[in-house]
A and B are shown apart, each in its own frame.
Chain A
């Protein structure tokens, strides 16, 4: 069965500092991986996804993630945090059968300090 682990339920960074949110997956087949962001009182918005091809994926708002098969990781990064990045971030993998439902991690709440 597939699973996703997000290390760190809460992460704080200073404005302008590097953002690193960790995601590790477990999958018996090549995974399809997603990062979503949830701002307060809003729905889950896709930041980026990896399906096949280039392992470094660029998303919206300056975020990117690198798929590393050897480390079973898909960490999300942004070189310089903005106050507006404060939100909850979810990593997910799509299931390999059925209706390809998403399997989510527990989420990481990012706080950006002035």
Chain B
């Protein structure tokens, strides 16, 4: 069964450094999402992406964040200058058509630790 993959599984970085989190969505899916979960808190929406553009973003997704689909398979989340409060589990998700009843397929997550 096709699945969403994410790399790395765990990333440790120093405050102020740039990190890139990578995701490979399911191949025929068109809508892509990033969510994050700070330890002990809710899973929160960050951004959605369709047709090589950001479709929607949350107030968390400020100028320090960017997303890109550099080729036909990868979908990346970049944090330019990490802060301590960026430490979280980051989940990528994809869905075939972006409909309200669509199932979103999630990757296993990347745990980001900012020191």
Contact = CB atoms under 8 A, between A and B. Distances in A.
B75 interface: no
Interface stretch (B12-20, B63-71, B100-108): B100-108
Interface in A1-50: 32, 34, 36, 41-46, 49
B93 to A, nearest CB: 8
Number of contact residues on B: which range applies? 20 to 34
Contact of A100 (B42, B91, B100, B109): B100
B33 A43 contact: no
Interface residues of A, number: 26
A43 B74 CA distance: 17
B72 to A, nearest CB: 21
Contacts of A51: 100-101
A43 B41 contact: no
Interface string A74-114: 00000000000000001010111011111111110000000
Contacts of B4: 43
